[in-house]
Amino acid sequence: MKKIIILFGVPGSGKGTQAKFLAKKYNYQHISTGDLFRALENDPQAKPEEKKAIEVMKNGGLVPSWLVYRLVFRAIEEGVKDNGGVVLDGTIRTLEQARAFDEFLEKNNWKVDSLAVVLRLNDEEALARLTKRKICSKCGDIVTWDKKLEDVSRCQKCGGDLVVRTDDSPEAARKRLESQGNKVLEPILDYYRGSHRLVGINGNKTVQQISKKLVFILEHPNLWLLLRHIKKSIKFFKGGK
């Protein structure tokens, strides 16, 4: 198992759900910049420049890299020390950040022990998901939109009220996809693809199907690579691209 699992995906792709699943299954530390920023927003000791950066995020923009590094690098060090590994959820948003994270991992001899996974989803589907999903105001659990749950107003885990997040309003969601959508994400994925540390998974599958594939890849990486190579070879000889 890799110690550093880096999950990528456009907003609404389900990376948060999968990150929580993996963290629980392997007892890893789940590190979400969104969670870190929201905790900072409620911290009375937060500095003025930190509060200002949080307001940028709430309006659909990107938080400055210096704040990401300050919060996340410390969380990674604590997570590896206390839990043996971490699952990063939406922590890297630019190519510059990807390189800075690798410098940090290299310094700690963790780069070889890292793997990037992207849940692929087009921007149109992501927008639909974002504007329909809800979050528990009590425990923070995210409820992905499902027609069967359309009229549910209470969290099935703790009974808290289900609400639409401020940054999931249609206007804010569009701004988030402009700054965090596939067009912005692709250069970052190319960076990880270049170092052979990128795995792609179809984000349109069910939560359970994605979870099952993630576990297989993480626990049997060599077998997964072999099966992927065989699949590509079969497609090639059949005349596929």
Q: Where are the domains of the chain?
A: 4-121+170-237, 132-168
DSSP state of 205: S
Measure the CA–CA gap between 239 and 38, rounded to whole angstroms.
50
- Position 173: which residue type? A
Position 166 scores a pLDDT of: 72
If pLDDT is split at 50, 70 and 90, which confidence band does 138 have? confident
If pLDDT is split at 50, 70 and 90, which confidence band does 147 have? low
Tell the residue number behind the tokens 């069910």, with chain if given: 206
Mean pLDDT of 140-150: 69
Low-confidence winner among 2-6, 85-89, 140-144, 190-194 (lowest mean pLDDT): 140-144
Position 55 scores a pLDDT of: 83
Structure tokens at 125: 């589907």
Position 60 scores a pLDDT of: 66
Model confidence pTM above 0.75: yes
Among 200, 199, 184, CA closest to 98: 184
Among 128, 118, 136, 87, CA closest to 191: 118
The CATH architecture one would assign to domain 4-121+170-237 is 3-Layer(aba) Sandwich (3.40)
Position 176 scores a pLDDT of: 83
Measure the CA–CA gap between 127 and 73, rounded to whole angstroms.
30
Mean pLDDT of 127-140: 84
pLDDT > 70 fraction of the chain, expressed in percent and rounded = 95
The answer on pLDDT for 67 being more than 70 is yes
pLDDT > 90 fraction of the chain, expressed in percent and rounded = 51
Measure the CA–CA gap between 215 and 46, rounded to whole angstroms.
38
Virtual CA dihedral for 65, 69, 70, 73, nearest 10 degrees? Answer: 170
192 vs 57, more confident: 192
- pLDDT, averaged across the chain: 89
